[in-house]
Chains A and B, each alone.
Chain A
Amino acid sequence: MKNKYVFGGIIIAVFLLLMGYLFTQSNIEYADDFTTVKATTKTVKATGSWVKEKQYEINKENKTFSFYMADENGNEMKVIYEGTIPNNFETATSVVVTGKYKDGYFHAKDILTKCPSKYEEESVTSSSL
């Protein structure tokens, strides 16, 4: 019986330490406010929406995709993503980018687009004809 606990105990302790360490290393926090995004040097997940008035750009030479993103308070920032425009980008209701803010841009290594899966009532700001 003792073997079981010795073995299990060692494995669990090592494992928990390793997990705790890696969790803090790989931890990425969500940030809804772009002023905090711009202030930190850490990798964050910034949530906002695409500023449709400012057209996105696909740079074929550098293989980048850039656009402007705004948070709920209307703070804007330019996002540069090394890759191509994601599927669903134009119709996405919100965009989550993972990366760092540096030199006046948000350098995204990942983009996630959230799409309206049904037309929800609030998505139509109705104006009767």
Chain B
Amino acid sequence: MIGSIVLTIALAFSILAMIMYYLNFRGYTNTLNYGRIAYHAMTMLVIAASVLLLYAILTHQYEYKYIQGYSNNALPTGYLIASFWGGQEGSFMLWLLLTSIIGVVLQSYTSKRGDLEPRVMAVFALATTFLLIMVSPWFKNPFELIWTTPVFLELKNLNPEYFNLPFIQSFFFSDPGTNQGFIRIDSELVQLLAGSGVSVNEFIIDGRGLNPQLLNFWMQIHPPILFLGFSMATVPFVFAIAALLKNNYIHWIKQSFPWLLAGMGVLGLGIMLGGYWAYEMLGWGGYWAWDPVENSSLIPWLVGIAAIHTMLVQRKTQAKGGIGKYAKTNLMLCILTYVLVLYSTFLTRSGVLGDASVHSFVDPGMFVYLFLIIFIGSFILLGFGMIAYRWKTLNENIPEEESLISRELALFTAAIILIASSIIVLVGTSAPIFGQSVDTFFYNEMHLPLGIIIMLLNGLSLLIKWRHSNASEVLKKVTYSGVASILFIIILTIFGGVNDIMILLLALTSAFAFFVNLDIAVKIIKGNKKMLGAYVSHIGIALFILGVIGSAVSPDVVDIDLVKDQKTEAFGYELTFTGSAPIENTTKFAFNIDIVKGGSEYSIAPVMYRSDFNNSLMRQPAILTLFTQDLYISPLGYDPGTQSSSTTSGEIVTLKKGGSTNFSGTSITFSEFDLSAETMQAMQEGKDFQMGAVFHIDKNGKHYDAALYRKFAGGQVEFTSYSSDELNLKIDLVELTAENVKIVFSTLDGSDDQVSDNTTIGNREVLSVTASIKPFISLVWIGVLVVTLGFFVAVARRIPESKISS
């Protein structure tokens, strides 16, 4: 309740900050301080609301729908913190929190740079206003109380002490499909509970928990970094609008440049951390699947990177006076970067990709859908409307023509290619909106030629001088790197067995880019280290692409059955499954595999467990990382090899209720179904539901009762059996329906002819796995880290250049 109020007040302050800053820009000098105060007050309130939410998560206040839906008592603190952004509401909250904090830094940054502050902060406050509306009580509010719209909660999450309250019965429901019991939580129940002195937090004692796929170390880091990247992408947009407001396009390039660099560095890192999570957690063996959620965060990144390159040109050409080249392009790209971040949010949160993605969030309802469209629409309209309005004054007035071999043109071509790449991803990802979809080879095939050009430009553009270069001069510089990369390709063809011409070309240009940049980097490392940024980033990208080629081009995958204590050979590795062991309070099972390779011994353990969260078998791969390759073991299934095969070999009899049969002088009657009070009990304790059949057994005047059960556990059916030494009889239940039962009789000592003894058949444990080799995949991760490092070296260089006081 307090949380919602805090957020609503924050929204008011955000609007106030926007108005005050805008008035200040329009000439009302006395409103600047009000704008500042309002903005900071808004940020404090957002921080307060976030702290409140985090506190409520850590103290398990399940009266909040969000907390009940995404956390539970069993989560350790790290994952409890991660459940802050485990769902839609919380991730909007995180985005808002990071954006408002970025705004504080931005306020201080702009206040030191002439008249920037009011224009920049007015537009920035518009962005926070939209985010605040998103988390307000009318939309995706993380503080929504659980009974606002009635929900059905499983009995295991409720406190059984209060089940004897007289009114509870009328809120009890059961699902005939799964026989699970629920209690309907609505405002009426809450009132009745309050009347009995029971608070909602006392009644709801556990939450639903976090999706087990999110229970991974990287999930504690990846979303905050990604959202930090999203938040920082707001800044170049805001600078572009601010420039348009003032109708001055010279200084905003330098002033927004460090922000764009930092934002794209962070966003890129965040995207690939998600890739690392997928690689380590999801078990399909890769880090990138062209999944809509991945794609939608890649699109703004590609456009942002394109903007970096064309802004460099504008910056350079400004030196000769005027606003520089590509002024319109740069405004558009910076605006698009943020608009595409919003579009990404729309794709993944609006439910339009419902059928297309595994981890798209669920449909949030029409209301939110419309709001997201208004959100994006407003920013597109604002951005492109402003450009259209200023179009005539946006004349570049650059008469001179650069030659074909100039860095300007190389950078512009690079930007074109990057935009082409983003269009491909955008088209493919948006296709489901129109009932279409594309196969992933669409992305791969399209990117192969683009990748080749990009890597060639990556190498060449840094050798070409600004404005004009001599072809022979460039060729001279290329010699060393060219020879080195051709040698590399020869080695790759002979020893790597790569023979696809396109792949070889990509490898060639990547190697070329790597050597060129390394060459330059080595030369300048002794001089001004601040100049290293671009080269470091470009080396990183080259390494990254080489890693992609190594790990993804010719995948070696094999499915193998590992029999316990028996050596199996795969890809030159000797694998031995040594048995399983329960881990983490026996909630999961680790399957230990000993690996011998080239005299060295290693041990890894893929994990499988049945998750209570979604009642499914979860499988986690294990990765053996060596210097040149990863061995990736993904579990498929496990056969404990028990002696179950003997049970179905007896005599099968189908009985209706009340029917009897005879087996070796024993009379067996199916007297009744067991759907007793225990059923209710089992449901209340949240156990898997079972139904049973009661049998009367008569032999030589003696009377026995036996109950056999069909247990239902998440789609898996288990049957119990009955055995009696006295009777020398074993009864196995094989089917139980509402009409009849099927049972199998056998004698315990095997004296009956009808029982064939096949218990000797292989009762050894078998672990089935998919094994694959990922050569040079470490280059992918090293590449990403190097790229990120390069970005921040460049930021360090560009911040001093941004200090322009006008």
Contacts of B637 in A (CB 8 A): 58, 60, 84
Q: Is A91 an interface residue (CB 8 A)?
A: yes
Instruction: Sample 5 A-B pairs with CB under 8 A, ordered by A number.
Output: A3-B402, A11-B416, A18-B446, A28-B437, A30-B437
Residues of A84-129 whose CB lies within 8 A of B:
84-85, 87-91, 94, 96, 112-115, 117-119, 121, 123-129
Task: Choose one: A18, A23, A125; the contact of B175 (CB below 8 Å).
Answer: A125
B616 in contact with A90 (CB, 8 Å): yes
Minimal Cβ-Cβ distance residue in A for B453:
A11
B176 in contact with A127 (CB, 8 Å): yes
* 15 further contact pairs, Cβ within 8 A, besides A91-B616, A128-B173: A18-B446, A26-B445, A28-B437, A30-B435, A43-B439, A84-B636, A84-B637, A84-B768, A88-B614, A113-B358, A118-B69, A118-B362, A119-B182, A124-B173, A127-B174
A11 in contact with B768 (CB, 8 Å): no
B423 in contact with A19 (CB, 8 Å): yes
With the chains together, A40 CA to B723 CA distance in Å?
54
Q: Is B208 an interface residue (CB 8 A)?
A: yes
With the chains together, A14 CA to B625 CA distance in Å?
41
A129 in contact with B172 (CB, 8 Å): yes
Interface of chain B: mostly helix, strand, loop or mixed: mixed
Separation in Å of the B355 CB from the closest CB of chain A?
5
B715 in contact with A47 (CB, 8 Å): no
Q: Mark contacts of A66-96 with chain B using CB atoms, 8 A cut-off: 1 yes-contact digit, 0 otherwise.
A: 0000000000000000001101111100101
Separation in Å of the A53 CB from the closest CB of chain B?
10
With the chains together, A124 CA to B356 CA distance in Å?
25
Contacts of B211 in A (CB 8 A): 117
Q: Mark contacts of B702-719 with chain A using CB atoms, 8 A cut-off: 1 yes-contact digit, 0 otherwise.
A: 000000000000111100
With the chains together, A43 CA to B169 CA distance in Å?
51
With the chains together, A25 CA to B717 CA distance in Å?
43
B355 in contact with A28 (CB, 8 Å): no
B173 in contact with A29 (CB, 8 Å): no
Task: Choose one: A26, A117, A124; the contact of B152 (CB below 8 Å).
Answer: A124
Task: Choose one: A11, A23, A94, A118; the contact of B438 (CB below 8 Å).
Answer: A23
Q: Is B388 an interface residue (CB 8 A)?
A: no
B442 in contact with A26 (CB, 8 Å): yes
Given contacts A3-B404, A23-B427, A88-B614, whether A126 and B355 have CB atoms under 8 Å apart is no
Q: Is B151 an interface residue (CB 8 A)?
A: yes
Separation in Å of the A18 CB from the closest CB of chain B?
7
Q: Is B413 an interface residue (CB 8 A)?
A: yes
A124 in contact with B175 (CB, 8 Å): yes
Report the tally of A-B residue pairs with Cβ distances under 8 A.
146
Q: What 5 pairs between A and B have smallest CB-CB spacing? A: A90-B715, A26-B442, A26-B439, A126-B173, A88-B616
A27 in contact with B436 (CB, 8 Å): yes
A87 in contact with B436 (CB, 8 Å): no
With the chains together, A8 CA to B306 CA distance in Å?
14
Contacts of B412 in A (CB 8 A): 4, 7-8
B618 in contact with A87 (CB, 8 Å): yes
A121 in contact with B176 (CB, 8 Å): no
Contacts of B361 in A (CB 8 A): 117
Q: Is B198 an interface residue (CB 8 A)?
A: no
Contacts of A85 in B (CB 8 A): 617
Contacts of A60 in B (CB 8 A): 561, 637, 768
Residues of B202-251 whose CB lies within 8 A of A:
208, 211, 213
With the chains together, A30 CA to B436 CA distance in Å?
6
Task: Choose one: B177, B354, B416; the contact of A8 (CB below 8 Å).
Answer: B416
Given contacts A128-B173, A129-B172, whether A114 and B438 have CB atoms under 8 Å apart is no
Minimal Cβ-Cβ distance residue in A for B212:
A87
Contacts of A39 in B (CB 8 A): none
- How many residues of A sit at the interface, in one of the four size bands? 35 or more
With the chains together, A103 CA to B590 CA distance in Å?
40
Task: Choose one: B150, B173, B401, B431; the contact of A2 (CB below 8 Å).
Answer: B401
Residues of chain B whose beta carbon lies under 8 Å from any beta carbon of chain A: 69, 87, 149-154, 169-170, 172-177, 182, 184, 208, 211, 213, 354-358, 361-362, 398, 401-402, 404, 409, 412-413, 416-417, 420, 423-424, 427-428, 431-432, 435-439, 441-442, 445-446, 449-450, 559, 561, 614-619, 636-637, 714-717, 768
With the chains together, A90 CA to B712 CA distance in Å?
12
Contacts of A96 in B (CB 8 A): 355
Residues of A1-56 whose CB lies within 8 A of B:
1-4, 7-8, 11-12, 15, 18-19, 22-23, 25-30, 43, 45, 47, 52, 55
Contacts of B174 in A (CB 8 A): 126-127, 129
A87 in contact with B617 (CB, 8 Å): yes
With the chains together, A125 CA to B177 CA distance in Å?
8
A29 in contact with B362 (CB, 8 Å): no
With the chains together, A113 CA to B614 CA distance in Å?
12
Minimal Cβ-Cβ distance residue in A for B435:
A30
A4 in contact with B409 (CB, 8 Å): yes
Contacts of A23 in B (CB 8 A): 427-428, 431, 438, 442
Given contacts A87-B618, A119-B152, whether A129 and B169 have CB atoms under 8 Å apart is yes
Contacts of B619 in A (CB 8 A): 87
A89 in contact with B616 (CB, 8 Å): yes
Separation in Å of the A29 CB from the closest CB of chain B?
6
B446 in contact with A22 (CB, 8 Å): yes
Separation in Å of the B642 CB from the closest CB of chain A?
16
Contacts of B402 in A (CB 8 A): 3
B715 in contact with A29 (CB, 8 Å): no
Minimal Cβ-Cβ distance residue in B for A30:
B435
A30 in contact with B355 (CB, 8 Å): yes
With the chains together, A7 CA to B449 CA distance in Å?
16
Contacts of A88 in B (CB 8 A): 614, 616
With the chains together, A11 CA to B453 CA distance in Å?
11
Given contacts A3-B401, A112-B355, A124-B175, whether A19 and B151 have CB atoms under 8 Å apart is no
Contacts of A55 in B (CB 8 A): 717
B151 in contact with A119 (CB, 8 Å): yes
Given contacts A90-B615, A114-B354, whether A19 and B427 have CB atoms under 8 Å apart is yes
Task: Choose one: A45, A63, A114, A118; the contact of B437 (CB below 8 Å).
Answer: A45
Minimal Cβ-Cβ distance residue in B for A58:
B637
Task: Choose one: A11, A19, A125; the contact of B176 (CB below 8 Å).
Answer: A125
Task: Choose one: A28, A45, A90, A113; the contact of B716 (CB below 8 Å).
Answer: A90
Contacts of A29 in B (CB 8 A): 435-437
With the chains together, A112 CA to B714 CA distance in Å?
18
B358 in contact with A112 (CB, 8 Å): yes
Task: Choose one: B208, B357, B442; the contact of A118 (CB below 8 Å).
Answer: B208
B441 in contact with A26 (CB, 8 Å): yes
Contacts of A22 in B (CB 8 A): 442, 445-446
Given contacts A4-B409, A8-B416, whether A117 and B435 have CB atoms under 8 Å apart is no
With the chains together, A126 CA to B441 CA distance in Å?
45
Contacts of B636 in A (CB 8 A): 84
Contacts of B169 in A (CB 8 A): 129
Contacts of B445 in A (CB 8 A): 22, 26
Given contacts A22-B446, A84-B637, A96-B355, whether A27 and B170 have CB atoms under 8 Å apart is no
With the chains together, A94 CA to B355 CA distance in Å?
9
Contacts of B435 in A (CB 8 A): 29-30
Contacts of A112 in B (CB 8 A): 355-358
Separation in Å of the A124 CB from the closest CB of chain B?
5
Minimal Cβ-Cβ distance residue in B for A129:
B172
Contacts of B438 in A (CB 8 A): 23, 26-28
Contacts of A28 in B (CB 8 A): 436-439
Contacts of A125 in B (CB 8 A): 175-177
Task: Choose one: A15, A91, A126; the contact of B714 (CB below 8 Å).
Answer: A91
With the chains together, A11 CA to B412 CA distance in Å?
12
Contacts of A58 in B (CB 8 A): 637
Contacts of A8 in B (CB 8 A): 412-413, 416
Minimal Cβ-Cβ distance residue in B for A119:
B152
